[in-house]
Amino acid sequence: MQTIHVSSAQQSPKSTVLIMGDQINRGIASLAEKTPDDTRILFIELATKFSDKQWHKQKVHLLLSALKHFAQELREEGFEVDYRIAKNLSEGVKAHKKDFDVSHVIAMEPMNWNGKEILENLDIELVRNNQFLCHYEDFAEWTTTKTKFKMEDFYRWQRKRLDILMDGSTPCEGKWNFDHDNRERPPRDGREWPSITLFEHDDIDNDILQNLDDFWGAYPKGVWPVTREQALIRLDEFVNGALKPFGPYEDAMLGKEWKLAHSVLSSSLNIGLLHPMEVVRAVEQAYTDGEAPINSVEGFIRQVIGWREYVWGLYWLWMPEYKSENFLEANRDIPPAFREQGSTEMSCIRGAMDHLHEYAYTHHIERLMLFGNLSLTTGINPQELTDWMWSRFIDGAEWVMIPNVIGMATFADGGKMATKPYASGGAYVNRMSDYCSGCIYDPKKRTGDNACPFTTLYWDFLDRNENRLSGNPRMGQQFGGLRRLADRSDVKVRAAEVLTKLDEGTL
């Protein structure tokens, strides 16, 4: 174990506040009221966290840089800071207690189930997590009032109780949901999309950059905020630049545009640099001031106070059993097409992989309807997919990825979260992207050498899972179509070819 910047003051009446790597904010519940006079700060950098070299370079940089910058800011405020590197949390906490003769350590509840269990076993005083607008205990209580519950119900409850986009007791402009206005196909006019500031690297960043050679992906280029000051700049850029066009094109995909008008605030929210309420209020104010339309504002706010918080609540409601769900018994390994650029001729997967390699990011439709859809229809193991997304995506965290992969992308929970599998053929990709125009595969064909793998696999997925899924009331039309296929046997032959090529990295 290596120790960095441990004070020589071994005896102190101060309490210690342990700050986790995704709690990078002065306002976290364990720190908000503390002062340098009564509190010492403990940071533990986990030496084994990045032992899997599949981690994206930009994510490794973000997590380490944000932690080290926050430690520096607290030192500058006058706090005594113990920043140490340890094999695991237990080792780090025990060593700190011994070095400083400390018995009382405080921490805000971790964002993940295992972390909370570890800290409880270390007899650390935990205070309620305040990085969300609905604590997971409040979410669990909300579910007890429902025989069935869904995200839309939760979202409306959030809107009412938080008084967000409300006109008295009714939603602004009389509607809860403006999805209908947010499904535009990608424009083909070559327009420029909102730009973002690229932040300069300082000495802390440059030290980290020296040790990223063995990790995956492109080197950091200043896209992802590592300090609160940078995160606030990114928030301002979104509200005053990208918010207006965000809504109509939030589901669109373009090969040469990695973010379009998306906020790219998720990493800052997930590690604590921004609080969801300040983000939501800034967006709401743009609507109040007439600077952004309701469809863009409502669509974004639904992502933050609806979907994001719903995922957080479900994670805590169903863990730890939930992470092992595999309803469809999917056991295919992560394919070469997901591991390296240029490992497939599928234009859409190749394009999304380019985005992921260059930015450690793709927006939600590329995640769900490209990576998730291919994983679902080919039978990729949901736990392997969770680990892959966790390590590759800049905003990946256990509480984010487990519900999104197990529940949404792979239907591994059998319908606890989503009412039907999100399986789709090539027609959806063709409608919502520009990928198909330059692809060797034809989205209209399900058989033959140039049949789109998505179209083939969609029908094969239904065929393989007919016994498991045909009773789903939302899938009657799809299975009716399957039973009318005249070339059903030919589809199975083509699907076997596609799966072999996928595994070989020749698709």
408: pLDDT strictly greater than 80: yes
- Region 96-114 average pLDDT: 94
Report the alpha-carbon distance of residue 453 to residue 344 in Å, rounded.
11
For 178-182, the CB contacts below 8 A with 24+ separation are 178/247, 178/294, 178/295, 178/298, 178/299, 179/299, 181/247, 181/248, 181/295, 182/247, 182/248, 182/250, 182/251, 182/295, 182/296, 182/299
Tokens of 24: 């990078």
Cα 395–398–400 angle (5° rounding)?
Answer: 55
pLDDT digits (tens, 9 = 90+) for 310-363: 999 999 999 999 999 999 999 999 999 999 999 999 999 999 999 999 999 999
Report the alpha-carbon distance of residue 336 to residue 338 in Å, rounded.
5
pLDDT of residue 48: 87
- The highest-level CATH class for domain 2-127 is alpha beta
* Fold classified for 136-318: 1.25.40
How far from 452 is each of 6, 169, 260, 478, 491, CA to CA, in Å?
59, 48, 25, 18, 11
CB-based contact 402:412 (threshold 8 Å): no
CB-based contact 369:422 (threshold 8 Å): yes
- Region 223-251 average pLDDT: 97
Tokens of 220: 């950091």
Query: Considering only 45-49, 115-119, 212-216, 278-282, which range has the smallest mean pLDDT?
Result: 45-49
pLDDT of residue 180: 87
Tokens of 435: 């990928």
**What is the chain's mean pLDDT, rounded?**
94
pLDDT of residue 53: 75
Q: Which residues on adjacent β-strands are paired with residue 4? A: 83
- The highest-level CATH class for domain 326-504 is mainly alpha
Count the Cβ atoms, other than its own, within 10 Å of residue 188: 9
pLDDT digits (tens, 9 = 90+) for 107-142: 999 999 999 999 999 999 999 999 999 999 999 999
pLDDT digits (tens, 9 = 90+) for 20-59: 999 999 999 999 999 999 999 999 999 888 887 789 999 9
423: pLDDT strictly greater than 80: yes
Exposed, middle or buried, 464 (CB in 10 Å: 0-12/13-18/19+)? middle
Question: What does DSSP say about strands 170-171 and 105-108: parallel, antiparallel, or unpaired?
Answer: unpaired
Q: Is 225 left (phi over 0), alpha (psi -120 to 50) or beta?
A: beta
CB-based contact 260:216 (threshold 8 Å): no
HSE-CB for 225 with a 13 A CA cutoff: 28
Cα 208–209–213 angle (5° rounding)?
Answer: 115
- Region 188-199 average pLDDT: 90
Tokens of 398: 């256990």
Query: Considering only 174-183, 193-202, 382-391, 399-408, which range has the smallest mean pLDDT?
Result: 174-183
Report the alpha-carbon distance of residue 116 to residue 100 in Å, rounded.
23
Identify the helix (H) or strand (E) that includes residue 230. helix 228-237
CB-based contact 498:453 (threshold 8 Å): yes
406: pLDDT strictly greater than 50: yes
The pLDDT confidence band at residue 182, using thresholds 50, 70 and 90, is: confident
Residues of the chain above pLDDT 90, percent? 91
pTM: 0.94
pLDDT of residue 47: 87
pLDDT of residue 156: 97
CB-based contact 231:239 (threshold 8 Å): no
Q: How do the domains of the chain map onto residue ranges? A: 2-127, 136-318, 326-504
Q: What is the DSSP letter of 7?
A: -
The pLDDT confidence band at residue 158, using thresholds 50, 70 and 90, is: very high
Give Cα 84 distance to the centre of its chain.
28
HSE-CB for 326 with a 13 A CA cutoff: 14
Tokens of 100: 């400083």
pLDDT of residue 1: 43
Nearest Cα residue to 154 out of 315, 318, 306: 306
Report the alpha-carbon distance of residue 370 to residue 382 in Å, rounded.
15
Count the Cβ atoms, other than its own, within 10 Å of residue 238: 23
Measured over the CA atoms of residue 322, residue 324, residue 330 and residue 335, the dihedral's sign is positive
pLDDT of residue 262: 97
9: pLDDT strictly greater than 50: no
More confident residue, 258 or 179: 258
307: pLDDT strictly greater than 60: yes
4: pLDDT strictly greater than 80: no
CB-based contact 98:52 (threshold 8 Å): no
Contacts of 154 (CB under 8 A, 6+ apart): 139, 142, 306, 309, 310, 313
